A and B are shown apart, each in its own frame.
Chain A
Amino acid sequence: MEINKTINSDNVDLMINMGPQHPSTHGVFRLLLNIDGERIIDVKPHIGYLHRGSEKLCENERYAQVVTLFDRLDYVANLNMELGFCLAVESLMELDIPDRASYIRVILCELNRIASHLLFYGTYGLDVGAMTPVLYAFREREKIQGFFESITGARMMHNYFRIGGIKEELPDDFNNRLSLLLDEVSQGIEECDMLLSKNEMFLARTKNVGIISASDAVDFGVSGPNLRASGIARDIRVSKPYSIYDRFDYGIPVASSGDCWDRYYVRLEEIRQSIKIIKQAMSQMEDGPILAKVRRIARPPKGEIYFRTESPRGDFGVYLVSDGSDKPYRVKVRAPSFANLQSLQYLLKGAYIADAVTILGSIDIIMGEVDR
């Protein structure tokens, strides 16, 4: 009732409440749409339905335990979240990570990026009304999840990265399985591409819909594939390489118009680049230790750090304050989905109501990360 008062102005024709249980919101996210005929004139997003207090919880857990909480931030790209936190702690402790551990991390993170973008591909098809793509995407994603299971023991909440390295050595058949998997996945991607990208109906729904210009995108703090779709080739993996990302040769897909189709296609193209990275990492990887020399209970020195990594959704930052004890003093997460979501109000204003879901889907938010 109260919300009605705050948004209501005299000229409102109709107000539609979308969510929090709407299937296209990818979680629990609520939108209040003010519409005039078919046009959206105002929108108010409501977040916080999935707030679990992760940042506060971190203060009561030891560093090794915090990794399990980071798994649950962006729950479709868990390993990328773990990587962000582990790298932040490691650079605070000035640890040298063994090469093999870094390579394994990169391989798994890029696989996770593929899985995450495949999920986007499938659900985006659903959002615009195509039922088939999700089946193809999940078929490929399923293989990756099964592969993760054979390495980390879990399909989603891995808890595999450790401060200073990784948990355990890879299984013996890792290389064979990975090359087989890559072949299958790259074939699958081509199929997915053929299935949807050039489909006339899909093009009609997504081309020139939800356009955001490069300067506006920067102003809103948009990052990741959404920003690159607007024409700015900014990727932390290249501009400020962390871990061992400077050892690979790969491209950053950029589009120009910043509409929904561009945001979609940049992600599809990124999958191909990720496969390229994994192949290089596989050939460069050598035997060696997988854990740096660290004490079992990590105690970073007093200080603070802000560490940025490129998660599948964009610029993922971890701000960490340590007071020298075995628990973090404060953890703050800069969640890319949260910043990307800010542009939604701008994108939806003036759009047709039928495009609301198309636009929301193209931003690819994960509520676990937005609400934390």
Chain B
Amino acid sequence: MIGFLTGLFVTMKTGFRRPVTAQYPDPEKRIKVENRFMGFPSLTWDYDVEEPYCTGCMVCVRECPTECMTAKMKDNPLFSEGKSRRKKIIDEFEINLGRCILCGICVEVCNFDAIEMSHEHELSKRVRNGNRFGLQQLLKLGIKFQSNTNWQPKQPEKNSGVPVKKVDEE
């Protein structure tokens, strides 16, 4: 009987405590994700020269454990015009988010600060293959992430696309 009553006492105590439940779809009452939260991978946008950071070097494609990404590079038109430092730029990029396991390896191996784990984590789509994200969608995710978190590249000097500096060096 005593064990039963102590249990009841614990339950009663709960009545005087703030509720710990969060209400998921409600934007105010849901749990906020942490800063380091790894949602879907997204491509970042270089505002200085108005192009993506990604050069299509394919390192992330090779290192991805689930082989869910493809990338293709092209010559950068802005480079020939002298507006950017990137010789090559990404042409097509696709991540199958339905297959991605959110491991963050692609972010770790990228040398150009071009890919980041965004805070986006809701996957359901109305169409089949709606989770195959192309370059534009990934950039959209990235831009949203950049503006929400005030993202800065980890190696700003090395990865900036602004060509002025290169002229100085020469």
List A residues at the B interface (Cβ < 8 Å): 61-62, 64-65, 68-69, 132, 136, 139, 142, 146, 149-154, 157, 159, 167, 171, 191, 194-203, 296
Q: List 28 A-B contacts (CB under 8 A).
A: A68-B103, A69-B65, A132-B7, A132-B11, A142-B20, A146-B31, A150-B35, A151-B36, A153-B117, A154-B37, A157-B102, A159-B103, A159-B104, A167-B108, A171-B36, A191-B10, A194-B9, A194-B10, A195-B6, A195-B7, A195-B10, A195-B11, A196-B7, A198-B7, A200-B1, A200-B3, A200-B4, A202-B3
Closest Cβ of chain B to A283, distance in Å, is: 25
Interface residue tally on B, bucketed by range: 20 to 34
Provide the bound-state CA to CA distance between A128 and B44, in Å.
51
CB distance from A152 to the nearest CB of B (A): 7
Query: Known: A65-B105, A159-B104. Is A199-B7 also a contact (CB below 8 A)?
Result: yes
Give the complex CA separation of A199 and B101 in angstroms: 42
With contacts A68-B65, A195-B11 known, is A203 near B104, CB below 8 A? no
Closest CB-CB distance, A295 to chain B, in whole Å?
Answer: 13
Asked if residues B33 and A159 are in contact (CB atoms below 8 Å), the reply is: no
The chain A residue sitting closest to B107, CB to CB, is A153
Nearest chain A CB to B47 CB, angstrom units: 25
Q: Is B162 an interface residue (CB 8 A)?
A: no
- Taking a contact as CB atoms closer than 8 A, the residue among B1, B33, B63, B65 that contacts A149 in the complex is B33
Q: Is the CB of A198 within 8 A of B105?
A: no
Nearest-neighbour CB distance to chain A for B4, whole angstroms, equals: 5
Which residues of chain A are within 8 angstroms of B122 by Cβ–Cβ distance?
none
Within 8 A of A (CB), among B1-44: 1-4, 6-7, 9-11, 20, 31, 33-38
For A139, give its contact among B3, B9, B11, B20 (CB under 8 Å). Answer: B20
**Cβ-closest chain A residue relative to B1:** A200
Is the CB–CB distance between B38 and A201 below 8 Å?
A: no
A191–B6 Cα distance when bound, in Å, is 10
Residue of B nearest to A151 (CB): B36
B97 to chain A, nearest CB (A): 15
From known contacts A142-B20, A201-B4, infer whether A61 and B36 are also in contact, taking CB-CB under 8 Å.
Answer: no
Task: Say yes or no: B20 contacts A61, CB within 8 Å.
Answer: no
Q: Are B101 and A150 in contact (CB under 8 A)?
A: no
Measured between beta carbons, the chain B residues less than 8 angstroms from A132 are 7, 11
1/0 contact string of B56-75 vs chain A (CB within 8 Å)? 00000001010000000000
CA distance A139 to B21 in the complex (A): 9
The one of A142, A152, A157, A198 in contact with B6, judged by C-beta atoms closer than 8 angstroms, is A198
A159-B38 Cα distance, complex, nearest whole Å: 11
Which chain A positions have C-beta within 8 A of B105?
64-65, 68, 159
- Partner pick for B34 among A149, A198, A296, CB 8 A cutoff: A149
8 more A-B residue pairs beyond the given contacts A64-B105, A65-B63, A149-B33, with a C-beta to C-beta distance below 8 A = A69-B65, A136-B10, A153-B37, A153-B38, A194-B6, A196-B7, A198-B2, A199-B7
Complex partner residue of B36 from A69, A136, A139, A153, CB under 8 angstroms: A153
How far apart are the CA atoms of A3 and B99 in the complex, in Å?
35
| A203 touching B101 in the complex, CB below 8 Å, given contacts A142-B20, A194-B10 | no
* B94-131 interface code vs A (CB 8 A; 1 in, 0 out): 00000001111100110000000100000000000000
Output the nearest chain B residue to A62 by Cβ-Cβ distance.
B63
For A202, what are the chain B residues with a Cβ–Cβ distance below 8 Å? 3
Beyond A69-B65, A150-B35, A199-B4, whether A157 also contacts B11 by CB under 8 A is no
**Contact status A194-B7, CB under 8 Å:** yes
Query: Complex Cα distance A157/B38, Å?
Result: 10
- Smallest CB-CB separation from B6: which chain A residue? A194
CB distance from A126 to the nearest CB of B (A): 15
The CA-CA distance from A200 to B7 in the complex, in Å, is 10
Q: Is the CB of B36 within 8 A of A203?
A: no
Contacts of A151 in B (CB 8 A): 36
- Docked Cα-Cα span, A157 to B63, in Å, equals 18
Chain B residues, Cβ within 8 Å of A201:
4
Given A65-B105, A69-B65, A154 and B38 contact (CB-CB distance below 8 Å) = yes
